[in-house]
Amino acid sequence: QVQLVESGGGLVQAGDSLSLSCVVSGNIFSDNAVYWYRRAPGKQRELVAGITGGGATNSVDSVKGRFTISKDNAKNTVYLQMNSLKPEDTAVYYCNIRTSITDYWGQGTQVTVSS
C-alpha cells in the first residue's frame, strides 16, 4: 500500500525558513517523480517543485532561488527546503508521486507565513 506522509509545516515569520519532508511508503519511490504542490486559501492547487527518479529538479519561477527540492532514496523521503518565506507562500503543501498507472497524494501540511 502506498502512503505519503508530509511533515514540517508550521507558523513562521516572513524571511524565516522551513523544511518539509514527505515519506513515501511502498516500493515505488526511487523510480518515480515526486512533486510538491500547494493550495493557498481561495486559490487553485499550484505545482511548486518536482524531482525525477534520477534526481533532476525543477521549480516554479515564484520560488526559484528560495525553495530547494531534494530526496534521499535510502529514506524514501523527499524534502522541500523553503528559505526567505513570504506571506504569499502561505498554503497547504502536498506531496505527490506519479507512477505510470496513477498518482498518490499525501494529506498535506499547513505552512503559514506572517508578515
Q: Print pLDDT tens along the chain (115 aa).
A: 899 999 999 999 999 999 999 999 988 888 899 999 999 999 999 999 999 999 999 999 999 999 999 999 999 999 999 999 999 999 999 999 998 889 999 999 999 999 9
Q: Residue 38: its pLDDT value, please? A: 98
Q: Which distant-in-sequence residues (6+ apart) come within 8 Å of 84 by Cβ?
A: 15, 17, 66
**Whole-number pLDDT of residue 73:** 93
Please calculate the CA angle 36-82-80 and round it to the nearest 5 degrees.
35
Residue with grid cell 503543501, as numbered in its chain: 93
Determine the pLDDT at residue 29. Answer: 85
How much is the pLDDT for 30?
83
Please give the grid coordinates belonging to residue 56: 533532476
pLDDT of residue 43: 96
